[in-house]
Amino acid sequence: MLYKDIIKNVGQPILIRIRDAIVSREFQNIDFIKKNARLSLLWDVGFLIEISNGFVKYSSEYNGRLWDHPVVWPLAQAEKIYKLEPKKKSKQTMKTDSNLPEVVYKN
């Protein structure tokens, strides 16, 4: 499938940097909790469904009719949203984080 078909049939692929709390479900001491129970930055990818009314909505899986595990996240908790496109189309690539693995689309 061509990139323009993906946009038309599924939606704009995005890379999103969001804030969420990261904690543990195992027994931990108070030092661990003080250090880790806080806002952490996460990197997510997905197809953009909608940005409106203070929320960004996206999902990384679409089966032609339904979204699998869609995310509805407060915009205030989203730090950056980048548009994703095929490497060969990209004229001026944004610098993100060198530790991030490659982002791919698989039909």
Partner 1 sequence: MVHKDTAKKADQPILIKLMDAVTITDSCSMDYVTKHAQLETLWLVGFLIEINKEFIKFSSEHTSSGIWKYPVIWPKEHVEKVYKLVPVSNAKKPVELPKELPRIVHVTWGDGQSATANIATKTVIDRNVAKQIDTVGFLLINDSKRLVLTEQINLRTGNFKTIHVIYPKYSRNMLQLVPNGEIDITKDQTFS
Binding site for partner 1 (CB under 8 A): 20-21, 23-30, 33-34, 37-39, 49-50, 52-53, 55, 57, 59, 63, 65-74, 77
**CA 95, 89, 87: angle at the middle one, nearest 5?**
55
Please give the DSSP secondary-structure letter assigned to residue 107: -
Q: Which is nearer to partner 1, 80 or 87 (CB)?
A: 80
Shortest distance (Å) from residue 84 CB to partner 1: 19
Query: Do 82 and 16 touch, CB atoms closer than 8 A?
Result: yes
Identify the CA nearest to 45 among candidates 84, 8, 92, 91.
84
Q: Which is nearer to partner 1, 41 or 90 (CB)?
A: 41
Q: Which is nearer to partner 1, 43 or 55 (CB)?
A: 55
Q: Which is nearer to partner 1, 33 or 90 (CB)?
A: 33
Shortest distance (Å) from residue 59 CB to partner 1: 7
Shortest distance (Å) from residue 93 CB to partner 1: 28
Give the DSSP per-residue string, 34-57: HHHBEEEEEEEEEEEEEEETTEEE
